[in-house]
Amino acid sequence: MANGTLKVQNIETSSGSGTITLGQSGETLALGATTNNLLTPSLKVRLNSSQTGISGQTYAKVEFDTVDTDATTSGTWDSSNYRWTPGLAGKYFLSLNVEFFPATNTAKQALVLIYKNGSSLTYAYLNMNAFDLRNQGSQALNTAIVDVANSTDYYEGFVYMQTNGSDVTVRATNDNTNFCGFRIG
Express each pLDDT in 86-134 by its tens digit: 988 899 999 999 988 776 666 678 899 999 999 999 999 887 765 665 5
pLDDT > 90? residue 171: no
Length of the chain, in residues = 185
**Which positions ≥6 away from 162 have C-beta within 8 Å?**
56, 57, 107, 108, 109, 110
The number of CA neighbours under 13 Å toward the Cβ of 21 is: 5
User: How would residue 34 be classed by pLDDT, with cut points 50, 70 and 90?
Assistant: very low
pLDDT for 155 equals 96
Lowest mean pLDDT among 45-54, 68-77, 173-182: 68-77
Average pLDDT, rounded, for the chain: 81
Spatial separation of the C-alpha atoms in residues 185 and 177, rounded to whole Å: 26
Q: Smallest Cα–Cα separation from 93: which of 133, 143, 136, 34? A: 143
Q: Smallest Cα–Cα separation from 157: which of 69, 90, 71, 65? A: 65
Spatial separation of the C-alpha atoms in residues 111 and 105, rounded to whole Å: 17
pLDDT digits (tens, 9 = 90+) for 39-59: 778 899 999 999 998 888 889
pLDDT > 60? residue 174: yes
pLDDT for 62 equals 96
pLDDT for 159 equals 93
